[in-house]
């Protein structure tokens, strides 16, 4: 996380910000959920790491679980994927997401 200063805040239903950084760059339309105060950053990092661990465990459990006999049709793809809040997420989407995170994190 880069430290910056909120220059402009706007929006009612979608709160967004312009953030200026010490190097002179500015980024606009930063979502409210993407900002963390400096004092809360350590807690934010721990929460992100915990979420990543839980997602990895869920993906592993889904990969190791046998296909459900009642709903193992084309959507399940032979059990590859995971169901979250009643919505099936195919393993290909989980793989694409993991690859994108790996690219971003370097």
Between 100 and 86, where is the model more confident? Answer: 100
Question: Model pTM?
Answer: 0.46
- pLDDT 10s digits, 38-81: 899 899 889 889 988 888 888 888 777 765 544 444 444 455 78
- pLDDT, position 56: 87
The contacts found for 47-52 with CB under 8 angstroms, 24 or more apart, are none
| Residue 36 Cα distances to 22, 31, 41, angstroms | 17, 11, 6
Confidence of residue 23 (pLDDT cuts 50, 70, 90): very high
- pLDDT, position 76: 43
- pLDDT, position 69: 41
Per domain, the residue ranges of the chain are: 5-35, 39-105
Task: Provide mean pLDDT across the span 20-31.
Answer: 90
């Amino acid at each position: 996380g880069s430290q910056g200063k909120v220059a402009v805040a706007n929006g009612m239903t979608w709160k967004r910000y312009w953030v200026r950084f010490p190097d002179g760059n500015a980024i606009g339309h930063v979502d409210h959920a993407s900002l963390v105060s400096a004092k809360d950053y350590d807690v934010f990092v721990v929460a992100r790491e915990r979420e990543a661990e839980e997602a990895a465990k869920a993906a592993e459990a889904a990969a190791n679980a046998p296909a459900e006999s009642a709903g193992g049709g084309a959507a399940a793809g032979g059990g590859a994927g995971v169901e979250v809040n009643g919505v099936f997420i195919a393993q290909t989407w989980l793989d694409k997401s993991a690859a994108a995170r790996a690219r971003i994190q370097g």
